[in-house]
Amino acid sequence: MLEWDSGFFGLKVGKLKSNGSLPEAEFDDFDLVYVFSDIPLTRQTFPNLYVLPVDRKVTYSMQIAANPGLPEGVGSYVAGDHDPEVVRLGIQSGMYSRFKRDPNFADGQFEQLFSVWMRRSIDREIADEVFVCISGGLPRGVITLRDAPGFASIGIVAVDESVRGQGIGRKLVQAARHYAHQHHFPALEVITQEENEQACRFYEKEGFSLKKKEYIYHFWNKGADRDRAKHS
């Protein structure tokens, strides 16, 4: 069971990796199961489960050969400073998230979830570095980074909708490349949604290459009281 997710949503939440088949008994003790699969699954395969395709997750990777330096206007964000504008940027990053796409979650839960993730990243609980881009005296872009075996991983990345197309996203990626080089990581990785075509084109233009794709499903147990997710 995923303890953090279960506590946040007030449900018994689990996670499974599929190789194309999933015994239904695996779901009996859960209200909700996140299923990750390398191949598409069909609802007809599991007639007694409420299955919702919620994401086609794509992972992009870039090799780090040189340090581009930290761009002007971008700096490391102070741990523990929960500036509402920075937290708001974190929420904007999840507009294509599976937690927003799944209608079984309560109104506002998506925003609460990404707010918590942004705050925990700022506190360096689930991130090792946070960079913020300041423009016009205000935080207009944010990117979080986590150390992983053999690469630096981009977590949250967002540019305020009012200033998109002004090169802030490129600055944030440059800061991530700088971090990876400074910490001797040979590669930088980022995950986004295939439906977010603008983000995919941006990463490809910046020099990232597609590494893998995963299909993500939310399996809701018909025998469980799904309304708990809407009223918790």
31-60: per-residue pLDDT in tens?
Answer: 999 999 998 887 666 766 778 999 999 999
Q: What is the mean pLDDT of residues 67-94?
A: 96
CA-derived radius of gyration, the chain: 19
Q: Which of 4-8, 42-46, 136-140 has the lowest mean pLDDT?
A: 42-46
Distance CA 32, CA 13 (A): 5
**Residue 215 exposure: Cα atoms within 13 Å on the Cβ side:** 14
183-203: per-residue pLDDT in tens?
Answer: 999 999 999 999 999 999 999
How many CB atoms neighbour CB 85 within 10 A? Answer: 12
* Residue bearing tokens 């040979």: 186
Which part of the chain has CATH 3.40.630.30?
A: 59-212
Please determine, for residue 229, whether its predicted confidence score (pLDDT) is greater than 70: no
- Model pLDDT, residue 170: 97
Q: Confirm or reject CATH 3.30.1360.70 for domain 59-212, answering yes or no.
A: no
Q: What is the mean pLDDT of residues 64-76?
A: 96
Distance CA 132, CA 103 (A): 32
Distance CA 169, CA 171 (A): 5
